[in-house]
Amino acid sequence: MTIAPRALIFGVTGQDGAYLARFLLTKGYEVFGTSRDADVARTAGLVSVAGEGRVTLISASPVDFRSVFSSISRCTPDEIYNLAGQSSVGLSFSQPVETMGSIAVGMLNILETVRLLNPRIKVYNAGSSECFGDTGEEPADESTAFRRRSPYGVAKAAAFWQVANYREAYRLFCSSGILFNRESPLRPQRFVTRKIVRTAVAISKGSPERLRLGPLDITRDWGWAPEYVEAMRTMLQAETPDDFVIASGCSHSLEAFVAAVFQEFGLDWRAHVDRDEAFVHPTDIAISRGDPSKPNRQLDWHARVTFPEIIRRLVAAELSAAQSAPC
Residues annotated catalytic, as ranges? 128, 130, 152
How many angstroms separate the Cα of 38 from the Cα of each of 34, 50, 52, 122?
7, 16, 14, 24
Residues β-bridged to residue 32: 8, 56
Contact between residue 124 and residue 81 where contact means Cβ atoms under 8 Å apart: yes
- 3-state SS string over the chain? CCCCCEEEEECCCCHHHHHHHHHHHHCCCEEEEEECCCCCCCCHHHHHHHCCCCEEEEECCCCCHHHHHHHHHHHCCCEEEECCCCCCHHHHCCCHHHHHHHHHHHHHHHHHHHHHHCCCCEEEEEEEHHHCCCCCCCCECCCCCCCCCCHHHHHHHHHHHHHHHHHHHHCCCEEEEEECCEECCCCCCCCHHHHHHHHHHHHHCCCCCCEEECCCCCEECCEEHHHHHHHHHHHHHCCCCCCEEECCCCCEEHHHHHHHHHHCCCCCHHHCEEECHHHCCCCCCCECCECCHHHHHHCCCCCCCCHHHHHHHHHHHHHHHHHHCCC
Q: Is the dihedral of CA 152, 191, 86, 8 positive or negative?
A: negative
